[in-house]
Amino acid sequence: LSESQARGVRYARELEGHLGWLDTFSGTALGVLATASGIYTYLGVSSLLDENGAMSVFAAIAYSVAVSVGIFVFWSYMMRLFPAVRSARARIGLMLTMGAGSLAIVAMSSWLNAAALAGSAAVEQHLAKTVQDYQVSLERAHEVALTGQSLERDVARVRQSFEDLSEQEAAGSLSGLAGRGAVFRVLRQKAAELSGLEGQISAQTPLVEASFIEGNAILSHMRALTVEPGPVEARSVEFSEQAVRLAGLITQLRQLSVAPLVERAAQDLAASVILPELDGGSAESRNDQAATISSVLEVLAQRATTLERAAQDVQALQPADDVTYTPISSADAVILYARNFVPSWAGAIAIDLLPAVLVFIVAITQNAIRGGREGAAIEDTLTLAELRAAMAAMRDVEVTLNERDVPLDPGPPIPAPRQAAE
The CATH number covering residue 182 comes to 1.20.1260
Same domain, 138 and 284: yes
* Phi, psi of 172, rounded to the nearest 5 degrees: 85, 20
Asked, for residue 281, whether it belongs to a domain, the answer is: yes
Same domain, 251 and 217: yes
Cα angle, residue 208 at apex, residues 265 and 253 outer, rounded to 5°: 80
The last residue of one of the domains, among 312, 330, 348, is 330
Asked, for residue 141, whether it belongs to a domain, the answer is: yes
Same domain, 180 and 325: yes
Same domain, 199 and 315: yes
Same domain, 90 and 131: no
Asked, for residue 96, whether it belongs to a domain, the answer is: yes
Find the radius of gyration of the CA atoms of the chain.
48
The last residue of one of the domains, among 330, 350, 366, is 330
Question: pTM, whole model, 2 decimals?
Answer: 0.67
416/185 Cα distance (integer angstroms): 175
State the greatest distance between any 2 C-alpha atoms of the chain, in Å, as a whole number: 207
| Helical segments of 316-383, H only | 330-336, 342-373
Asked, for residue 359, whether it belongs to a domain, the answer is: yes
Check: CB of residue 360 under 8 Å from CB of residue 76.
no
Asked, for residue 326, whether it belongs to a domain, the answer is: yes
State the total domains in the chain. Answer: 2
Q: Specify burial of residue 396 (Cβ count, 10 A radius: 0-12, 13-18, 19+).
A: exposed
Tell me which DSSP letter residue 381 carries: S
Same domain, 351 and 254: no
Same domain, 115 and 128: no
Helix, strand or coil, per DSSP, at residue 370: helix
Provide the residue range defining the domain that includes 364.
3-119+340-397
Asked, for residue 414, whether it belongs to a domain, the answer is: no
Spell out the per-residue pLDDT of the chain, length 422, in tens. Answer: 566 666 666 777 777 778 888 888 888 999 999 999 999 888 888 877 766 677 788 888 899 999 999 999 999 999 888 988 888 898 899 999 999 999 999 988 888 888 888 888 888 889 999 999 999 999 999 998 888 888 888 888 888 877 777 776 666 665 555 556 666 777 777 788 888 888 888 888 899 999 999 999 999 999 998 888 878 888 888 899 999 999 999 988 888 888 888 888 887 776 665 555 555 555 656 566 666 666 767 777 777 788 888 888 888 888 888 888 888 888 888 888 888 888 888 888 888 998 999 999 988 888 887 776 665 555 555 566 666 777 777 887 878 777 765 554 454 554 444 443 33
The last residue of one of the domains, among 330, 357, 386, is 330
Check: CB of residue 250 under 8 Å from CB of residue 219.
no
